[in-house]
């Protein structure tokens, strides 16, 4: 049940909803009762799938941009466009960052990044992030 909790915490943390899967992962590591590779896999898989939801939302969202209730201003759309055109798909490597990472995955959908490219780059960044979280939770000397 704990692995499933971690998976869903990581999933919701990757969407535009607030969450902190790193705290749960760290607590589970500290407890010492769980397989580290399975913790890493559940957190990474959940977080990547949450980003896939953002990607899908991005593919759909621009059809509503003329509506009054649309939550993003044209100015912010222009900034995101400029950023994405400057740095390209590799900016998705930063999808693991707090605050800016989740919107980046939406932008990937808006700009219709090839699905497998999106999945590969986001998985790489998020998997690496959870390895770092595990390293700090264990103490770096444990992993080396």
Tell me what pLDDT residue 16 has: 67
pLDDT digits (tens, 9 = 90+) for 58-92: 999 888 888 888 887 888 878 878 888 888 889 99
How far apart are the C-alpha atoms of 41 and 96, rounded to whole Å?
15
Quick one: pLDDT at residue 15? Answer: 84
pLDDT for 17:
73
Cα separation values, 88 from 40, 76, 108, Å? 28, 17, 9
Q: What gap in Å lies between CA 7 and CA 62, rounded to an integer?
A: 29
Range of the domain at 133: 2-143
Q: What is the pLDDT of residue 85?
A: 83
**Distances in Å between the alpha carbon of 120 and those of 5, 13, 56, 95, 102?**
24, 19, 16, 12, 16
Of 81, 82, 108, residue with least CA distance to 94: 108
On whether the CB atoms of residues 51 and 14 are closer than 8 A, the answer is: yes
Query: Is residue 65 within 8 Å of 26, Cβ to Cβ?
Result: no
Total domains in the fold of the chain: 1
- Report the pLDDT value the prediction gives residue 140, as an integer from 0 to 100: 58
The rounded radius of gyration (Å) of the Cα atoms in the chain is 16
Residues of the chain with pLDDT under 50: none
pTM: 0.86
Burial level of 16, CB count in 10 A (0-12/13-18/19+)? Answer: middle
């Amino acid at each position: 049940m704990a692995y499933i909790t971690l998976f869903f915490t990581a999933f919701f943390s990757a969407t535009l909803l607030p969450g902190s899967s790193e705290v749960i992962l760290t607590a589970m590591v500290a407890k010492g009762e769980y397989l580290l590779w399975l913790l890493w896999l559940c957190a990474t898989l959940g977080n990547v799938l949450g980003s896939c939801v953002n990607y899908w939302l991005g593919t759909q969202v621009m059809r509503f941009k003329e509506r009054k209730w649309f939550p993003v201003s044209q100015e912010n759309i222009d900034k995101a466009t400029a950023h994405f055109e400057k740095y390209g798909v590799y900016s998705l490597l930063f999808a693991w960052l707090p605050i800016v990472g989740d919107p980046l995955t939406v932008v990937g959908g808006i700009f219709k990044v090839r699905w497998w490219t999106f999945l590969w780059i986001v998985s790489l960044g998020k998997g690496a992030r959870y390895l770092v979280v595990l390293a700090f939770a264990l103490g770096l000397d444990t992993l080396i």
